[in-house]
Chain A
Amino acid sequence: MKTNVALLVLFAIALAVVSTPVFGHHGTNISYDHSKPTTLKGTVTEFVWRNPHAQLYFDVKDESGNIVHWAGELNSPGVLTGQGWTRKMFVPGDEVTLSVFPSKAGTPVGVVDRSKPIVSNGKEVVPAGRNVD
């Protein structure tokens, strides 16, 4: 049992190293709370495929049924292209489920948590990966 715990700890450390978030170009990381990954389900309103960072805008219904306009920050299109993304990956109306690290300011803005998959219209369009620059 002790061995199992030790192995789990080692495994957890290994996973943490693999998925360490390193966001770069605009010092984005500091605005977001990486201790609070939050899963959101919503409807895409716009996918902005431009520098400095791509942005996914989507509407989420809160507990009271009100629509909240969320912004999800991504990396630059150049970096995303290298990871197999395309500008046509999301279009308005897509039903998406994704995880974000929300802003420390408590606003409906988050940097997209790439350690979780992104599901669009029931299909996993971005597999779980690493939060890298």
Chain B
Amino acid sequence: MRIRVSFVTLALALLSLPLAAQRGGRGNAAAAPSPPHDPHDLTGIWNLAGGTDLSLSRTPPPLTPEGQRKFDLNKPSYGRELGSADAAAHPEEHISRRRGVPPALGNDPIGDCNPLGWPRLFFFGRPVEIVQLPDRVVQFWEWTHVWRTIWTDGRQLPKDPDPRWYGYSVGRWEGDTFVVETVGVDDRTWVNHFGDVHSDEMHLTERWRRLDRDNMEVTMVMDDPKFYTRPWTSEKKIWRLQPKREIREEFCAPIDEQSFNQRTRNPAGGLNKK
């Protein structure tokens, strides 16, 4: 009996390991009093909590015919493999999660080190360093080494913006929530790894709120009537403060990507067999 109990305890302990890791070891955060922090100061290095779904939510809203045409052109390499038994076993999932192909046979813009765009970078799983200045908030994103400027000087969003990889953003405080609006994102970028789409008319609203010193909650609403029949509201996404982390230099350099593709990615997918 004693042996049985210890085996069960061990098994349960092992089962709980990944969960503890996903919580960043902060399982008791809710119970412990939070150290003091300024809710209007988002400064610091933050990382998306482990186990977070890498999109606004698992099921996008229905597409318009124009959105559907664009969606059907994308061949992502994330999610379940297209045509596999695994994909067939999950008919309840949105098709974006059941149409993966090997990267060598897909057309993910990431495969040539093109910019991820916004909001895809948010879901990439690498940290961001936030710096606040009197007239703007700057986000330095580790993966691909890009920064995003969010103007807080009261300026309006441009009416007819030129497309940019990360769009044009303005922010304001509503109570303790930092509200960011973004327009003008180049429509060649994907919303996430799963090849979900947005049009050049996407208007994205993010709400960043520091729950306590170490945890930040972010929600977003993607309003894109050209491609979707209703706005796409995200789940709550939690970001954790990373006091000991530093932002690394993490370029995705085409010269390295080409070599990787030629020597590893393509033969793995059955192209240019060695």
What residues on B are CB-neighbors of A86 within 8 Å? none
Taking each of A30, A51, A76, A104, which has the highest tally of chain B beta carbons within 10 Å of its own beta carbon? A30
Q: Which of A11-19, A36-44, A88-96, A113-121 interfaces with chain B? A: A11-19
Q: B237 contacts the other chain (Cβ, under 8 Å)?
A: no
Q: A97 contacts the other chain (Cβ, under 8 Å)?
A: no
A76 and B10 alpha carbons, distance in the complex (Å): 32
What residues on A are CB-neighbors of B18 within 8 Å? 17-18, 20
Interface size class of A (residues with CB under 8 A): 35 or more
CB closest residue in chain B, given A130:
B18
Q: B265 contacts the other chain (Cβ, under 8 Å)?
A: yes
Number of interchain pairs (Cβ within 8 Å): 127
Tell whether A27 pairs with B108 under 8 Å between CB atoms, given A10-B7, A71-B264, A76-B250: yes
The number of residues on chain B lying at the interface, defined by a beta carbon within 8 Å of a beta carbon of chain A, is 47
The interface bits of chain A over 61-92 (1 if a CB of B lies within 8 angstroms of the residue's CB, else 0) are 00000000101010010100100000000000
A110 and B124 alpha carbons, distance in the complex (Å): 23
| Residue ranges of A at the interface with B (Cβ–Cβ < 8 Å) | 3, 7, 10-11, 13-15, 17-18, 20, 24-28, 30-32, 48, 50-53, 55, 57, 69, 71, 73, 76, 78, 81, 103-111, 133
| Residue ranges of B at the interface with A (Cβ–Cβ < 8 Å) | 4, 7-8, 10-12, 14-15, 17-18, 76-78, 81, 100-104, 106, 108, 110-111, 113, 124-125, 142-143, 193, 248, 250-253, 256-257, 259-260, 263-265, 267-270, 273-274
